Structure 1
Amino acid sequence: MYCDFWNLTQAPFNQRLDLEYFFESEIHEEALARLLYIADEQKKCGIFSGPAGTGKTLTLKVFEQLLKRTPHQSELIDLIGLGEEEFIWQVCASLRLGPSFETKLPQLWRQLTDYLNGLQLTQGRQILLLDHVDQARTECIPALERLLHVGNQQFPSLSLVLALDKMNLSQADTLSRISDLSIELDRFEQETTESYITSRLSWSGCQTDLFSAAAYQEIQSVSQGIPEKINQICDLALLAGFEQSLSTIDADVVNRVCHEIRGMPVSRNRISEAIQRV
């Protein structure tokens, strides 16, 4: 909607999990290095944590692409809301073991056990990237431990990467016991936030700095360095700037946008009018 006004080739702050929008900060670079260490050194399990919105899912997708250049096989599975039977079915389906919708849990475990035993005999490597582990049902956590046991009896054939926002108390003992390495995505510092914003603008064809120094500081303060929140603020700020025909986005625009996000629109903020005209 505002791309022509700002001379952009595309909206720079959309929330799509698109690999071309991956920003490899020092934090993300370190996370990828640790993930590759798990794969290359045949570690059984890594806990990949960080506040919601820091980019864990997109980092897993990038890691999955990197693994395609290696002998390791990998699958990415989202565990939101899954119980043990649904989880094991998803694993079997991702590994192309041919489970039917009627296959019961004991048969699913048998299919998976046979596959992992065969993998150990051939000294193959399988890496499962499991997202939103903290939002799976509690019964999935013992299943993770069982998976690691089955997949590493004769040869270290199976590695798990468990991504979560925070470790629940009910999960803490088991996850701490099975983890070989902790990987954390932290919030951006001020300098990284500015670099992130300018990079996304540059990827969208922007040749000038659209945000003032004070605007950057306000974005950092409100977003607390969370990329997902930064995207939301910057997207609405560009919309507000378009509606008001501004040449740059200042701290006042950012502040008013943040009121909109919190559901507290102020009288000078006319973002809603711009949206209604679309």
Structure 2
Amino acid sequence: MDLIAPVVLTRPAGRNAPLAAALRAAGLAVVEAPALKIERLAVAPPVLQVGDLCVFVSRQAVDACFDGRCAATPWPDGVRAAAVGAATAQALRLHVPADAILAPAEGAPPDSESLLAVIEAVGLVPGRAHIMRAQQGRDWLARQLQARGWSVYCHALYRRSPAIWDRDTCAILAGPGRCTLLLTSLEAVDAVADSLRRQAMDWPATLKLVTLHERIARRLQCIYADRPADALTVRLSAPDEAALFQAILASARSA
């Protein structure tokens, strides 16, 4: 079993510590190397009114929105909140009544397609939809809601930018054994690729990938398309911490 190769966690700063501690307690070597930097923008969240739908695309969007709201301000009646995935929904429950939250079911892919299916199943009357997001991101859900009669407003609450890895961090991927790499967004894939290019390095000869979505897996599979079939192994996980722990543990301990 490939136990000497490290696990590299690339989620933004502040998101990796509990998972890293659990993995270390299980005997794994863990490197915390955020691929993206998150910067809050000095903007106020929108004023919501009855009939609005407020969509949160990430936990960062939840944190940025509610840091900008008065802590004593209750969630307004008649406003539905929507979360793209289970982790985002969990963060929302700290601020929004559970019966006001729409989110994909446990085990569903944490993406806009899954959330749109939930919104359509509930049968909401189209009104104003506020999408809480980063400065840049996927516009698919906004276009789909507009096509269904919603007036869509996108609110950039934070900025994501690549966290440039130094040469030593990049070299961890190509160290002894087959590294297990956690990547949770396409932007993180691009950021790691950019760091490797800056150091005139390539993706490692072999890699174990743990990720949340098939889109991310497909991006890595394209990168490894001209390599031996076993150069890249992929393990999909649900986004909650317990599922990620099990997926990474299984990946790291596999041959």
Judging by fraction of residues, say which structure has more helix. Answer: 1
TM-score using structure 1 length: 0.37
Judging by fraction of residues, say which structure has more strand. Answer: 2
* Higher-Rg member (1/2): 1
